[in-house]
Structure 1
Amino acid sequence: INGFTVAVKIFPCEEYSSWKNESQIFTDASLKHDSVLRFLTAEDRGTGPRREYWLITAYHSRGNLKDYLSHHVLSWMDLQKMAGSLVSGVAHLHSDYTACGRPKIPIAHRDIKSTNVLVKNEQECVLCDFGIAIRLDPSLTVDDFANSGQVGTARYMAPEVLESRVNLEDLESFKQMDVYSMALVLWEMASRCEVVGEVKNYELPFGSKVQEQPCVDTMRDIVLHGRGRPEIPSSWLVHQGMRFLCDTITECWDHDPEARLTAHCVAERFNLMAQMDFTSVDTATTLSPYQSSFQPPLANRSVPQ
């Protein structure tokens, strides 16, 4: 289209509701952001049983983040930029305002995972697939949110989702679920960064413990009952920047939803990281997983917002 390469996502007629939801989310002008997939138009094609529903968006040849990480090792700079762009996108979704300061309705993605993140270029990602996203409109009732059901991908579901104990009266609950899922994706990116030492083959979160498509019951046993999270080896924490990032990740996947950082707070931490010199490596550091002697300034520490 006018020299602009596009992608067409085609929904069969039985997936009309998903197409309708995603097209409605995309047509909200306040969704536009550098870290959100660029939407062009929605169309329905054909008639009867052959009817199809199209979403036409920007095309990104590097594919999704899962596939990209499978074949690429990231530098520390690449990790900062790519992870920062993902965080920026989630913070924008969750925000009550656009970057220009105009009021907007916050959006919960509800299915953040590495296959729903596209690689725009070597240092930028964009969020995609808003088929089960929900607008956190204060005018909606608890019943409206309850009827949206237990959704998402089991591997990335937060503990409270697995347990079906989401506080539907608090719209922040939906954002906290996204932050948990985002933390798993950040872990995936961190696992493929050259500063962690030996970079192992790419693996999904909990990859060695579960099947390729684990069910909710399996994830409930690991995450909810076993309090399991992806491993953060002590070797990752030798690099000060990675230690700071791992601290942030662990605060984002906290078992208690209210103890998790907000996406906005995580975005502030990434802005802080970008200003700091993490080129030096403290080889004397021998910390166990989840420990850190490096602390950001108090204003950027974990404070529920």
Structure 2
Amino acid sequence: MPAFSIIVPVYNRPEELNDLLDSLAVQTFKDFEVIIVDDGSEIKSEQLVSGYAKDFQVRYIYKENEGPGLARNAGAGQATGRWLLFLDSDCFLPVDYMEIVNRETASEDFDSFGGPDRPHHSFNVIQKAIGYAMSSVLTTGGIRGAAEKFDIFYPRSFNLGVRNSVFCSLNGFSSMRFGEDLDFSMRLLKKGYSSRLIKDAFVYHKRRKNLRAFFKQVYNSGIARINLELRHKGTLKLVHCLPTLFVLGHLAVLLASLCQPWLLLLLVPVPLIVFFHALRETKELHTACWAVPAVFTQNFGYGLGFLEALIVRKMLKQKEFQAFSKNFYK
């Protein structure tokens, strides 16, 4: 029985999966198995995965497309490790990642864990800018995993570990296509299980390659936040409403400026603050420049999705939904 079962859902991303598998092959701690779950891809990864059989124990599962949560469940159903470790296919690991995770879990005094994500120096400038937007303290990304003080720590599925027995007791992930990892973590904590942030167990997360794809992602994250509140009452916090207030505030200033053009000056401080903060954090001028549109894309995407879901779910009482279902990956 291996110490860890690493489960990775993949959908039409063999080139990104290759980077993750390469990073697993050079880990300093090797007591793990890898289960790749192909969620109905047109571009299959079976041949790629089989090439790593010499490096570690690996299995490939192909199933019909049902979303990442159910793909992870399929992988967990064949896992034999004491701990299940869920990673996204667009991540790859530092060479000592598994060694750090093994050391921290040796205490056996928590039931699940998560870690932060970072951009790698090899990423393109837009990926780095999006990485900044999704982890900065100036955005809601500040509560994603780099710090616990902003909110209860909920492990996210791009970097989430859980005891195999605990996962089974919770019946795994739900069928939600967005927010399924938060739904899982919320159910885990409600049942009295514990979670821990392992700050040193970070992954390199590629995220989206352009702002259009990023907008679709965060728009659905805004929708998911309302869906999660209706599933888990009381989990919606003021910080989750800030992007919508950001959108409404900017629209209000633009409308008011039709009568009072000087009001447009009120829109100047935010991009300047973002630029200089991103420059300090990334130390890259080009990335800091792109951080401004990335942060605005994040806030407008999340805020508009949140606002639509607020109307559709809370006011009109309609069922759960998602946006861009036909062209999300295009």
TM over 0.5, shorter chain: no
Normalising by structure 2, what TM-score?
Answer: 0.27
Normalising by structure 1, what TM-score?
Answer: 0.29
Higher helix fraction (1 or 2): 2
